[in-house]
Amino acid sequence: MKLIILDRDGVINHDSDSFIKSPGEWIPIPGALEAIARLNQAGYRVAVATNQSGVARGLFDITTLNAIHQKLHNAAQQIGADVDAIFYCPHAAVDNCDCRKPKAGMLKAIGKRFDLPLKGVPMVGDSLRDLQAGYVAGCTPYLVLTGKGEATRAKGGLPPGTQIFANLGAVVDHLLLGGQAAE
């Protein structure tokens, strides 16, 4: 079994500095759901790992978060894509939990759920904390330039071996076609 782990906001859907607080605010990035469908067709299991501190901040509740994720599932299924699991951390940074990226707890839970070692599993994110969590967990980090990706690249300090691509579709092209079309 092949596994890929994706961050949500900025990788699959448009990000917002004021958080995605309702299903209406969840808008897929063009081509992202199609990229997930291509991964599925190639035998990949797709897991999402997303920090959702808006819950701890009181901006939305778990019921709303579940509705957002249901919209993601529905939109994916409409084009033949399937997200196998969505893992989220509802905590704020001050909670110092093990599941909030850049810590690797959420990713380790994904590895346990799928009964797979994470060594070399692609972890796609748009922020440094996504890449750091993936690197610590043994994943191969992929930075996409959508969402906060351009700013993340500009700040530097990326984990060793991070590969940079324009968007999720370009990462999938690379993984499935063995291409070297970085950036």
Q: Which residues are catalytic?
A: 7, 9
At CA 146, angle to CA 110 and CA 43, rounded to 5? Answer: 40
Helices (H) and strands (E) in the chain, counts: 6, 6
Q: Tokens 């701890």: give the residue.
A: 56
Residue 52, C-beta contacts closer than 8 angstroms, at least 6 positions apart: 65, 88, 89, 90
Alpha-carbon separation of residue 114 from 1, 60, 85, 133, 147 (angstroms): 9, 29, 10, 18, 28
Measured CA to CA, the distance from residue 80 to residue 74 in angstroms comes to: 10
Report whether 130 contacts 10 (CB < 8 A): no
